[in-house]
Amino acid sequence: MQIGPDQIEALYQYAKFQFECGNYSGAADYLYQYRALCTNSERSVSALWGKLAAEILMQNWDVALEELNRLKEIIDSKVLPSMFCTVFFVLCAHYITNLVPDLWAELLITSESAPEQDMADALGSVHLL
């Protein structure tokens, strides 16, 4: 029996279901497996975001930091709207800096890929939330 695109998509959907049910450990494991099998880079990045969220919710800070670094490498290597990336990192810093070491806060707040003006705009946007 071969694994085809339908089975790989089912794995993604099952991982999403596990995440929505609060089984973050299962979701993280399934998303890891999905990323190993997935050939769609956009969908693979989506799975990485989900795995990062699951690791943060389980307070697996070391693994989450590894996933965040992977995500940062992907973001830095692509032409993505830097405002989106900056807002994400600022929001992460805002909500989890009280729970994680200073290294996390430094990594999340400083982003070489985002221009200074985007960072200022992002901070203004967070204030509006």
pLDDT in tens, the chain (129 residues): 788 999 999 999 999 999 999 999 999 999 999 999 999 888 898 999 999 999 999 999 999 989 988 988 887 777 555 555 666 666 666 555 555 555 555 555 554 544 444 444 444 443 333
Task: Name the nearest CA neighbour of 86 among 53, 48, 124, 119.
Answer: 119
The pLDDT of residue 84 is 59
Contact 85, 113 (CB under 8 A): yes
Contact 54, 28 (CB under 8 A): yes
Residue-range definition of the domain harbouring residue 32: 1-77
83 and 24 within one domain = no
72 and 91 within one domain = no
121 and 60 within one domain = no
102 and 71 within one domain = no
**Two structure tokens written together for 22:** 């609060």
